[in-house]
Amino acid sequence: MDSSTETDTVQLDPEQPFWERFYMVAPLVIIGTRNDDQETYNLAPKHMVAPMGWDNYFGFVCTPKHKTYRNAVRHGVYTVSYPKPSQVVLASLAAAPRVGPPDGPRRKPSLDQLPTFPATEVDGIFLEDGYLFLECELDRRVDDLGENSLLIGTVQAVHVEKKALRVSEQEGDVIRDNPLLAYLSPDRYAAIKDTNAFPFPAGFEK
Ligand SMILES: Cc1cc2nc3c(=O)[nH]c(=O)nc-3n(C[C@H](O)[C@H](O)[C@H](O)COP(=O)(O)O)c2cc1C
């Protein structure tokens, strides 16, 4: 049960599921992995994703129950596609249920609807028409984060849509002309179009 500590906040029980009690801003990407049949690929949306520092590491959180985890661990590579707001339905389709016998091969027929193109440096595919694409080699993983794991890869190749590249002094224009997709966990999304320059303190260095 919730217990209030102050008038404006409420203390939630961390032993109970609490991430779905409020909204948070997250990215939304499509992780691509190779299936065991050696011929087909899997795509799945993930929002618990981030660069792991300023070097070429990229990580995502995934449960070992998902095919994405098993594929990435088995083949040692994965791709990351960043969709645009106009592609939110495609991103969602990548999470449609699998069909097939419980003990046989189970397919995600929705993946047939997703236009893709091949990666160049690793064995994988991307979602077409995204604006940013990463090709990653699995470097390490952290298991047993409850029912989830963190998979960290090194980025072997980066592809960016030309019009999404930052142009000096015109960053606001780039985003206005090419809005970014934000996932507002747990159940909303937003197209980010209007942005402001961040008010860094004088003398700030990263
Ligand atoms: C918007 C959205 C965000 C998601 N984010 C994550 C995530 O960050 N980590 C995760 O393990 N699953 C996440 N999922 C769930 C899976 O990616 C999804 O169920 C997927 O189909 C799993 O399939 P797989 O067995 O093909 O890997 C998300 C699903 C949706 C719809």
Work out which ligand 1 atom sits closest to the CA atom of 97: 21
**Considering the chain, what is the average pLDDT of its residues?**
94
With tokens 């999470």, the residue in question is: 95
- The residues, ordered by sequence, that sit 6+ positions from 197 with a Cβ below 8 Å of its Cβ are 171, 172
Section 124-129 average pLDDT: 98
Mutation probe of ligand 1 site: the residue of 40, 43, 68 with most atoms within 8 A of C-beta: 68
pLDDT tier for residue 110 given thresholds of 50, 70 and 90:
very high
Distance of CA 95 from the midpoint of ligand 1 (Å): 6
Residue 92 Cβ inside 6 Å of ligand 1? The answer reads yes
Q: Candidates 2.30.110.10, 2.40.128.120, 3.40.1160.10, 3.20.20.120; correct CATH number of 19-191?
A: 2.30.110.10
Instruction: Report the nearest atom of ligand 1 relative to the CA of 48.
Output: 8
The model carries a pTM of: 0.94
Rounded CA-CA distance 78/31 in Å is 7
Instruction: Check whether 155 has a pLDDT greater than 90.
Output: yes
Q: How confident is the model at residue 168 (pLDDT cuts 50, 70, 90)?
A: confident
Q: How far, in Å, from the CA of 183 to the mean position of ligand 1? A: 12
Count CB-CB contacts under 10 A for residue 164: 16
| pLDDT attached to residue 7 | 84
Domains in the chain: boundaries: 19-191
How far is Cα 181 from Cα 46, in angstroms, rounded to an integer? 13
Predicted confidence at residue 167, as pLDDT, reads 85
